[in-house]
Structure 1
Amino acid sequence: MKIGLFFGSFNPIHTGHLIVANVVRQQASLDQVWFVVSPQNPFKKQKALLNEVDRLRMVELAVEDNYDLRPCNAEFSMPKPSYTVNTLAYLNDRYPQHQFYLIAGSDVLTHLHRWKNAKEILSYTPILIYPRPNVAEEKIKDEIRNHPNIKKVEAPLLDISATFIRRSIRGGLSVKYLVPDLVEEYIQSRKLYL
């Protein structure tokens, strides 16, 4: 199968993630998209993250009615912080029957060269890039912009932020329509992000 890997903290997963995953899956003719929940992203502060078990559970709830979108906890048993190159190696070893594609927003292109083993990743993994707002095109290095393994995919330009959602929850505001109903219920029942 052709599997898109959508890496993220998903703190929490929101409707923007789901829309992008579904649109990219269709545009790139992928069989499934796996939401790879990262316990610790090397570019983000750990203290701002909810524990990975709650974040994974919210992903499970968000995609439970869609076979084409799946949760993935591959990084939970790996050393932290999580590096994409290590996760790709693990998934390729574990699932040699699948062809993996990375799914990333266009903002990733401005700092992809800073990723651990970025050239190795680019050599064997196609990256499907969906549009993100306010990307500084001039910061994208030519060797990345013109790389044959980077493919731009048409998708709606969305700017839903998990930070905005967490801030809204702390402020006592509704997050209806920003997150799936089951995710909203989970957040409320466990009093998360307060």
Structure 2
Amino acid sequence: MNNDELVDFTDLISSKSGPLDLRLPDVRHIKDIGEFMSDPKNFNGDINKLTDGLEAKAQQCRNVLKILKERLQLKTATMQKVKTDVMELDAEIKKPGAENRFVTNHEKVKLHFLDETDSGEYNVPEALERYSVKMSSLYREILALDSDVDCVSYLVGVAQINIDYVKDWYKTKIQNKTEKSLPDDVGDSVKKF
């Protein structure tokens, strides 16, 4: 697969939030099979080479889809954990003696998000602010990843349709050649029985 056949991954929404090293192949629906197959850049007579190339594009899309789904799962798990942590902090703040712990004794709240390697300790107002910012950013990331999963799922489907379309076209072409090359009286003997 040539580099000119690759589409920059930045076309996906989730890639706007940071640099990604993933690439998507150029997958487009084959609209006119005759035109597609007559182009020597697409088909040079070797159906296996063509279907292998189309399958490689489909597999590349599946690989990107898998990575996106894993990232989406991580972000969703992180969101769930943040919600749980906020509820637990809220319960701690409402307990008797919480003012002593958090205001007088300056007890810190330890924060660690599942999708980050860093952790830190913060006073309650800072912790609540960080939770709020994290929830907002997770919400945006989840929406972007969800949209990208849909987009790449569509590309996987198009790639598979293209593979099936090419195979069906080739099979039909071979059958038509075989039928035309048979002598006319071959079918007659079958009809007599």
TM-score, reference length from structure 2: 0.22
Question: Which is richer in strand?
Answer: 1
TM-score by length of 1: 0.22
Larger relative contact order, structure 1 or 2 (CA cutoff 8 Å, min sep 6): 2
Structure of larger gyration radius: 2
